[in-house]
C-alpha cells in the first residue's frame, strides 16, 4: 500500500556494518591528514617487499594516495634478492658481511643495472599509471648522495667490502626541486665516492641511505618496508615483534643486530637522532601497510622514537 511517508520512511537508513566501518576508517584519517599535510615522508622498500608485482602496485597506490593527501613522499629502494639473482645469472657469487653486500667492480655494474635500470624503472612506471608523479634517480645524480668506502667486522677481523660506502653527505637540492614540483622521487641506493674514490660509484645500503635522506629533508617520518612484521625480539627463536623502541634502546640492541636488521636499526637510530620524529619498520607484504601506518591509529610493526 502506498501513502504519505511515515516517520520510519524518513529515518536515516542504517548502513550495513561494512560501509559504516569504511566511513569510520576514513574519518579516523582526519587528524593524520591535518598533521602530515605538507610534510615529507621518506619510505624505504626492500627488494623482498618488491618481489611480487601486486605488492609493487599497492605501494604505488599508497604513494600516490599520500601525494594527493598533500604529503611529500620520497621512495628509496633496495633490491637484495633481485641483485643476487642477476649476479647468479652473470656467474658472480653473493657474499654478505654484517648485512652488507661485498661488491666487486663487476658486481657493482650488475647492482647498478638492477637498481637503476630495472627496479627503479618498474616502480616509476607503476606510480605513473596514476599520473605523471614519479621521477627515478640514482643517488649519484645531482650530488644527491656522497659516500666514503667502508669495511666491516667479521669475527673481530676487518673485512674489505669492495665498492661499498657509508653516506657522508646528502645534497637534498634535487629532491626539494622535485617535491616542490609535486613529483615523487624514486631513489636507487647508489652514491658517488669522495676523496680518492671521487670517480667511483659506491653501493650503499638502502636503509641507511633512506635515513640520511630523511634527515637531510627534515622528514616527519621514515617508514622502512621489509619482509618481516617488524623487529623480532628474540630472532630467530621467536616471532614476537617489538612494537616500540626508544633511540637509547636501539643503541643497546645494535651490537647484537643480525643480517639485514643491523642497517635497519642503524638507519632508524640515525633518523631519530637526526631530528626525524618517528621511524617505523613495517611488513611490506601487508597490502597498504604504508596507508595503515600513516592514516590510522593502528600501530603496526616497530616504531622508533627519539
Report the residue count for the chain.
Answer: 306
Q: Nearest CA to 209 among 49, 61, 46, 39?
A: 46
CB of 275 to ligand ATP, least distance (A): 23
Using the rule CB under 6 A, give the single segment among 130-138, 139-147, 161-169, 258-266 that binds ligand ATP: 258-266
79 touches Mg ion by CB under 5 A: no
CB of 98 to ligand ATP, least distance (A): 11
260 touches ligand ATP by CB under 6 A: yes
Q: Which is nearer to ligand ATP, 46 or 185 (CB)?
A: 46
Radius of gyration of the chain (CA): 21
267 touches ligand ATP by CB under 6 A: no
Within positions 119 to 148, which residues make up the interface with ligand ATP, using CB under 6 A? Answer: none
162 touches Mg ion by CB under 5 A: no
Q: Which is nearer to Mg ion, 178 or 204 (CB)?
A: 204
CB of 259 to ligand ATP, least distance (A): 4
Within positions 28 to 57, which residues make up the interface with ligand ATP, using CB under 6 A? Answer: 46-49
Q: Which residues pair with 280 in a beta bridge?
A: 223, 303
259 touches ligand ATP by CB under 6 A: yes
Within positions 256 to 295, which residues make up the interface with Mg ion, using CB under 5 A? Answer: 260
Q: Nearest CA to 304 among 277, 274, 275?
A: 277
Within positions 189 to 228, which residues make up the interface with ligand ATP, using CB under 6 A? Answer: 206-207, 226-228
At residue 91, φ and ψ (nearest 5 deg) are 75, 25
Q: How many C-beta atoms surround the C-beta of residue 175 within 10 A?
A: 24
DSSP string, 102-135: -B-HHHHHHHHIIIIIIIHHHHHHHHHTTSS-EE
Give how far Cα 172 sits from Cα of 28, 103, 185, 275, Å. Answer: 33, 26, 11, 16
Interacting residues toward Mg ion by CB under 5 A: 260
Amino acid at each position: 500500500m502506498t501513502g504519505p511517508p511515515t516517520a520510519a520512511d524518513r529515518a536515516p537508513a542504517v548502513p550495513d556494518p561494512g560501509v559504516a566501518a569504511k566511513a569510520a576508517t576514513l574519518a579516523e584519517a582526519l587528524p593524520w591528514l591535518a598533521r602530515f599535510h605538507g610534510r615529507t615522508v621518506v619510505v624505504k622498500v626492500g627488494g623482498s617487499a618488491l618481489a611480487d608485482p601486486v605488492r609493487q602496485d599497492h605501494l604505488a597506490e599508497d604513494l600516490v594516495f599520500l601525494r594527493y593527501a598533500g604529503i611529500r613522499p620520497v621512495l628509496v629502494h633496495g633490491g637484495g634478492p633481485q641483485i643476487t639473482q642477476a649476479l647468479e645469472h652473470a656467474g658472480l657469487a653473493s657474499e654478505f658481511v654484517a648485512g652488507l653486500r661485498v661488491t666487486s667492480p663487476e658486481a657493482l655494474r650488475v647492482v647498478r643495472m638492477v637498481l637503476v635500470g630495472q627496479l627503479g624503472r618498474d616502480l616509476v612506471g607503476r606510480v605513473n599509471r596514476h599520473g605523471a608523479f614519479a621521477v627515478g634517480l640514482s643517488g649519484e645524480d645531482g650530488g644527491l648522495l656522497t659516500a666514503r668506502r667502508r669495511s666491516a667486522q667479521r669475527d673481530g677481523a676487518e673485512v674489505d667490502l669492495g665498492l661499498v660506502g657509508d653516506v657522508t653527505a646528502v645534497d637534498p637540492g634535487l629532491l626539494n626541486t622535485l617535491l616542490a614540483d609535486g613529483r615523487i622521487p624514486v631513489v636507487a641506493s647508489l652514491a658517488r665516492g669522495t676523496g680518492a674514490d671521487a670517480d667511483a660509484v659506491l653501493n650503499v645500503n638502502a636503509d641507511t641511505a633512506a635515513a640520511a635522506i630523511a634527515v637531510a629533508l627534515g622528514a616527519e617520518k621514515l617508514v622502512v618496508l621489509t619482509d618481516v612484521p617488524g623487529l623480532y625480539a628474540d630472532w630467530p627463536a621467536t616471532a614476537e615483534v617489538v612494537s616500540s623502541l626508544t633511540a637509547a634502546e636501539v643503541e643497546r640492541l645494535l651490537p647484537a643486530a643480525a643480517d639485514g636488521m643491523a642497517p635497519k636499526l642503524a638507519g632508524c637510530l640515525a633518523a631519530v637522532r637526526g631530528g626525524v620524529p618517528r621511524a617505523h619498520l613495517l611488513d611490506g607484504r601487508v597490502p597498504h601497510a604504508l596507508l595503515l601506518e600513516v592514516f590510522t591509529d593502528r600501530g603496526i610493526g616497530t616504531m622508533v622514537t627519539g
